[in-house]
Amino acid sequence: MKFKKYEDTLKALKDSIDTTFAKEKVFLSESLGRILAQDIVSEVDNPQFETASMDGYAIRAEDQELGELKIIDYLPAGSYKGNLVTKGTCVKTFTGSLMSEGSDTLLPIENVEVIGDKIRVIKSVPKGFSSRPIGENYKKGEVLIKKGTKIRYAQIGVMAELGLVQVSVFIKPRVSILATGSEILDFGEQKENISQIRSSNHVTIEAILREFGASTMRLGIAKDDKQKIKESMVEALRNSDILVTTGGVSVGDYDFVKEVLGDMDPQYIVDGAFIKPGRHIKIVKIGYKYIFALPGFPYSSSVGTFLYVLPLIRAMQAGEFDTKIIKAYIDEDYKKRSKYKEFTACNLVLKDGRVTVNLNGKKTGSSAILNNMLDNAALLCVDEETKELKKGDIVEVIAL
């Protein structure tokens, strides 16, 4: 088998996308974590009128030279009286109140002494002080939140400020996850012999995909039986847009997933990649549905999910097919261990004002070491041609 370069496999996956997901309206209170299917545009200036940002007196700045000003009214927040500030007058104004017509400055209460119906200016302020200008937050017609944005607390707050009750979001991609292998135990299954292991692949992948906006169905474990694996895969495709399998794609006698894929007469998008971990990955398309056949080791399947499945999910929802690659400085020497493009778990750290990576606490060994993904890990990307890195070199990192 001739493995393709990572960049070529990623391009092949991107070029295969010919559909986008439908949209739906949800109530703003239920939109947390969803992906926006529309630009959020302001229909008005905010604030629409000059507004006080603290308690004080609305005045004409030049009148501070008079020393004393007459209080003509009080204006609590949320009220409107149509007051007109003229020479020698002021309006007591509160945080959030509109600035009265004719005023241009808010004189704080601590800067004055109140004497009956007048104030005496103790300390002057510059013109415009604590008066929020029209459109300080945003202007009419301004795009505040772009289509494709994941909705978090700030987005909800801004949309509430705009008065939105419902918002258009992309329908969540439906992803089925199937782990394979007779040595694998599912939740609650008891070991019958010491060679059996508890599966973490399907639950780890499910957690990654749910965090990034997918609707998931965890199908459990399919034992090493070709017919049963095929039945599980066919059934999964009926009910999902994407199927992710783990195990059964290498060259062993019991690696049945690759045989089942061949029987399905699919369109092969990726049939092996020149990467470590995960070089035996297979990505196929049947109609408009995708199957990602990932290796069985926990670290490998997790990395494969970040490298390939997530970019597809982003593209289907927001039209943006991307991997979050950033530049950083490596904080130690690094010797490459294979001829492939390597994706190595590392720590991403802000040190001395710059972004750095190190491998403190990350174990070397097989692709089964899932605990290397703990502690907000990132992936250090090292090209095929690179043999070693020196401390201080600039490297590429995928932030997870």
pLDDT tens digit at each of 400 positions of the chain:
578 999 999 999 999 998 777 899 999 999 998 999 999 999 999 999 999 999 999 999 999 999 999 999 999 989 999 899 999 999 999 999 999 999 999 999 999 999 999 999 999 999 999 999 999 999 999 999 999 899 999 999 999 999 999 999 999 999 999 988 766 766 666 676 766 666 677 888 999 999 888 999 988 787 778 888 888 899 999 989 999 998 866 655 557 888 888 888 899 999 999 999 999 999 999 999 999 999 888 889 999 999 999 999 988 887 778 788 999 999 999 999 899 999 999 999 988 889 999 999 888 866 667 888 888 798 999 999 999 999 999 999 998 8
User: Domain 23-45+137-170 belongs to what architecture?
Assistant: Alpha-Beta Complex (3.90)
> What is the structure's pLDDT at 251?
57
How far apart are alpha carbons 308 and 362 in whole angstroms?
A: 23
CATH class of segment(s) 51-132: mainly beta
Residues 29-59, buried b or exposed e (16+ Cβ, 10 A)?
eebeebbbbeebebeebbbeebbbebbbbbb
Tokens of 263: 């029987």
- The gap between the terminal CA atoms of the chain, to the nearest Å, is 30
What DSSP designation does 292 have?
E
Helical packing angle, 201-211 and 310-318, nearest 10°: 30
How far apart are alpha carbons 275 and 307 in whole angstroms?
A: 11
Residue span(s) of the chain under CATH 2.40.340.10 come to 325-399
Topology (CATH level 3) of domain 325-399 = Beta-clip (2.40.340)
User: Domain 6-21+171-318 belongs to what architecture?
Assistant: 3-Layer(aba) Sandwich (3.40)
Tokens of 90: 């002021």
3-state secondary structure of 71: strand
Instruction: Calculate the alpha carbon distances from 316 to 213, 289, 309, 324 in Å.
Output: 11, 12, 11, 17
3-state secondary structure of 246: strand
23: closest CA among 206, 147, 141, 154? Answer: 147
205: left (phi over 0), alpha (psi -120 to 50) or beta: alpha
Pairing of strands 289-294, 242-246: parallel
Residue span(s) of the chain under CATH 3.90.105.10 come to 23-45+137-170
> What is the structure's pLDDT at 194?
67
How far apart are alpha carbons 392 and 358 in whole angstroms?
A: 11
What's the pTM value of the predicted model, to 2 decimals?
A: 0.77
Pairing of strands 105-108, 56-59: antiparallel
335: closest CA among 261, 393, 252? Answer: 393
> What is the structure's pLDDT at 226?
86
> What is the structure's pLDDT at 316?
85
What DSSP designation does 309 have?
I
